[in-house]
Amino acid sequence: MAKTVDEIAEAMFSMVKDAFGQKKLKPMDLTKAMIELYGDEVDKKLCKEAIKQLINSGRCVYTYFGGSYIEIPHKEGAANE
């Protein structure tokens, strides 16, 4: 049975949370991981919607460190008060 956007968003959020501080994940890393995990139950379009939901809800943010990544919101080291 095909996965829903909510389910994929939740799975992606877990990945991002678990990787925090260890590995920065790009949107395509999340998409590939979901396709590997759920096979035919997901596609790129669904993953794109799930990422959009994570960002729009504020649970995740885009960050830039030489390339763009998806992380959970946090205070970066360089930030001044």
Partner 1 sequence: MSEEALKTPKLDELEKGKWPSFVTEIKMAAKKSPMAKDLLGQLEKSYRDKIGYWKHGGIVGVMGYGGGVIGRYSDLSKEFPNVSHFHTMRINQPAGWFYTTDSLRKICDIWEKHGSGLTNMHGSTGDIILLGTRTDELESVFSELQKIDFDIGGSGSDVRTPSCCCGMARCEWACYDTMKTCYDFTMHYQDEIHRPAFPYKFKFKFSGCPNDCVASIARADMSIIGTWRDAIQIDKNAVAEYAKSGMDIESDVVDNCPAKCMEWDGKELNIENSYCRRCMHCINAMPRALKPGKDRGATVLLGSKAPIIEGAMLSSVLIPFYKMEPPYQELKDVIERIWDIWCEEGKNRERVGEFIQRVGMGNFLDAIELEPVAEMVAHPRENPYVFYEEYYEEGDEEGEEEES
Q: Figure out which of the listed residues 36, 39, 40, 76 binds partner 1, where binding follows CB under 8 A.
A: 76
81 binds partner 1 (CB under 8 A): yes
CA pair distance 7, 15, nearest whole angstrom: 13
| Calpha distance 41→75 (Å, rounded) | 35
3-state secondary structure at position 25: strand
Which amino acid appears at position 23 of this protein?
Answer: K
- 40 contacts partner 1 (rule: CB under 8 A): no
Which residue type is seen at 24?
K
Binding flag, residue 39, partner 1 (CB under 8 A)? no
Q: Which stretch binds partner 1 (CB under 8 A): 2-10, 11-19, 68-76?
A: 68-76
Q: Does 49 bind partner 1 (CB under 8 A)?
A: no
